[in-house]
Chains A and B, each alone.
Chain A
Amino acid sequence: MTAMSTDFTLSTLLPGAVPAMPVASAPPVMQLENVSVFYGNYEAVRGTTMAVREHQITALIGPSGCGKSTVLRSLNRMNDLVSGARVAGKITFHGQDLYAPDVDPIQVRRRIGMVFQKPNPFPKSIYENVAYGLKINGIKDNMDDRVEQALRGAALWDEVKNKLKTSGLALSGGQQQRLCIARAIAVKPEVILMDEPCSALDPIATGKIEDLMHDLAGTYTIVIVTHNMQQAARVSHHTAFFTAELDEAGVRHGRLVEFNDTGRIFTNPADKRTEDYITGRFG
């Protein structure tokens, strides 16, 4: 990765972005330009501008209701499934507008996978869970190898290799979540979105997933939503801090306060609000 780092600064990449701090970094895979997300007439998040860089982990943090999950779900068009949801501004994936009229959300989600807050394996066998995405994508050859690879990739293979036929629901919570990660990486997406993937898990299972995320970053680009600041500090390269603010009319909107290297955010934040939040002086 070091080979790829250049001296881009955020401000040269994205005119109008928050403080001009240097971000030692890989090229961006996804860019958000002035993105607002609406539910009906309610603007849940306004004016988000940031970039998601290749093979790095980007964390979205902030208090509840700040819109971090909403932003995450707009990245692979999961918000399309909520009636009345709408995105303004521009989200690009390798320069291609994700919300262009001829873009198919199904193709988007195939390339930008997702892992959810609550482990949600299908009520099928472990094997079938991993194979599901491959099957719908018409991949039929070397199924066993592909399933094994995905399970190895999710650091689950050794624990389940002898019981691939048992139900995915029979696993522990942490194992279920890794199964969900295996299911997501089996279709070889480029980006994996993780929506508070550890919030339902105990500390040991959380540690395993965090280790796994480091390994996965070699191959995939990861965006993770978390409200555990230590987790963001431990795993991510870049951190975006969101908060919820009242506008002139007294309506709450989520908005991006600061986006920078994780180290910078946690040691030398540019914004007072970020500092208050990470030092626990929030609210």
Chain B
Amino acid sequence: MTTTATRPAAAAPVPADLRRSALPLRRRLTDGFSKSLMGLALLIALIPLGLVIFHVASRGLALISWEFLIEDIPNSARRAGGGMGPAVAGTLVITGAAAAMAIPLGVLGAIYLNEYGKQNALARLIRTMSDVMTGVPSVVMGLFIYVSYVLVVKEQSGFAAALALGCLMLPVIIRSSEEMLRLVPDELRQASAALGARRWKTTVSVVLPAAISGIVSGVMLAIARAAGETAPVVLVAGTIFTSNWSLDGANTTLAAQIFKNAGEPFVAAQDRAWGAALTLMLIVLVFTIAARLISSRFAIKER
């Protein structure tokens, strides 16, 4: 047969060498090299994470105590002692108020996108614009609230800061909630509709409960993010040295205090910044872990 002559050489009954070492060196090296680069990339990202946590923990732990969390901030940065009480209070009040404003608005907006608007032009516009709004720098949001609210009422306040943080949270909550609503199987909606439930009733009593764990987890992450936002607070909240548990009047947050004290040349101020950083990290961590637990515990199993 003529084909015999053109058979590939490997077809000879000699066992082909299948060992890794028979692969050309260049290919083996490229493969190994690329894999180690990927591992190296991971290391490059994780080392700073480890260092940040280490420094914040070690420098912050020396400072942090119950007194640190409740005492007033010394009104001279040079002075040692004192605490971050007003900043802790301000962080809780301002972030809480921001969440109270952004959550209902965000969830309702998500319901519009997923239950009503779907793929129509308005819904698509809102979706794109929420994505764009997610990218708006926090300092711009601060300026916006300054111009449109602080200049009008002529007072810097915790409420103004809450407005700014609320604006930052809104698009995040809309998009994450929409994502969760989308995972709710259509059969549930149809089952409810078949029982004669109205659309809003179906949404409130069937769809929302089915998606609630995912929504809550997204909200938690948004809160964690907002609690660490600094620029808007610096721009619109003013500053105080004693605790203010109301939304009226000037206020401050942990993030703003870290910023202010980090730039000071005095060791006492820098120490307070580390203490505040540890406190803030713990708050953020609690919300982040809670979000993870909630989403993994009550996740919708399948689409």
Interface residues of A, Cβ cutoff 8 Å to B: 1, 3, 27, 54, 93-96, 98, 102-104, 106-108, 111, 136, 138, 188-190, 218-219
Contacts A27-B13, A190-B10, A219-B7 given; does A138 touch B19 at CB 8 Å: no
> How far, in angstroms, from A250 to B19 measured CA to CA in the complex?
40
Given the complex, which residues of A lie within 8 Å of B6, measured CB to CB?
A: 219
In the bound complex, how far is the Cα of B3 from the Cα of A198, in angstroms? 26
Task: Determine if A94 and B20 form an interchain contact, defined as CB atoms under 8 angstroms apart.
Answer: no
B interface size (C-beta, 8 A): 21
Give the interface centre of B15, B16, B18, B20 by most chain A CB atoms within 10 Å. B18
Give the distance in Å from the alpha carbon of A218 to the alpha carbon of B6 in the complex: 10
Q: Which residue of B lies closest to A215 (CB)?
A: B3
**Nearest chain-A residue to B26 (Cβ)?**
A138
B24 proximal to A (CB < 8 A): yes
Q: Give bound CA distance, A190 to B1, whole Å.
A: 18
Ordered by A's residue number, 23 sampled pairs between the chains whose C-beta atoms are within 8 Å are A1-B1, A27-B13, A93-B18, A94-B15, A95-B15, A96-B15, A96-B18, A102-B19, A102-B21, A103-B20, A104-B18, A104-B22, A104-B23, A106-B20, A107-B18, A111-B18, A188-B8, A188-B10, A189-B8, A190-B8, A190-B16, A218-B1, A219-B6
Pairwise interchain contact A54-B23, C-beta atoms closer than 8 A: no
Please give the distance in Å from A39's CB to the nearest CB on chain B: 20
- Determine whether B17 belongs to the interface, using a CB cutoff of 8 Å to chain A: yes
Contact B10–A111 (Cβ < 8 Å): yes
Give the docked Cα–Cα distance between A94 and B21 (Å): 19
State the 3 A-B residue pairs at the shortest beta-carbon distance, nearest first: A104-B20, A218-B3, A188-B8
What residues of chain A lie closer than 8 Å to B10, measured between beta carbons?
A: 111, 188-190
With the chains together, A22 CA to B26 CA distance in Å? Answer: 47
Given contact pairs A93-B15, A103-B18, A190-B10, a sample of 20 additional A-B residue pairs in the complex whose CB atoms are under 8 Å apart = A3-B1, A93-B16, A93-B18, A94-B13, A94-B14, A94-B16, A96-B16, A96-B18, A102-B21, A104-B22, A106-B20, A107-B19, A108-B18, A111-B16, A138-B26, A188-B8, A189-B8, A190-B16, A219-B6, A219-B8
Contact of A107 among B1, B13, B17 (CB under 8 A): B17
Whether the pair B3, A107 counts as a contact (CB closer than 8 A) is no
Nearest-Cβ distance from residue B255 to partner chain A, whole angstroms: 43
Alpha-carbon distance between A189 and B10 when the two chains are bound, in angstroms: 8
A94: chain B residues at CB < 8 Å are: 13-16
Does B11 count as interface, using CB distance less than 8 angstroms? Answer: yes
Per the bound structure, the CA–CA distance linking A148 and B223 in Å amounts to 61
Q: Given the complex of chains A and B, what is the CA–CA distance between A132 and B263 in angstroms?
A: 56
Q: Which B residue's beta carbon lies closest to that of A111?
A: B16
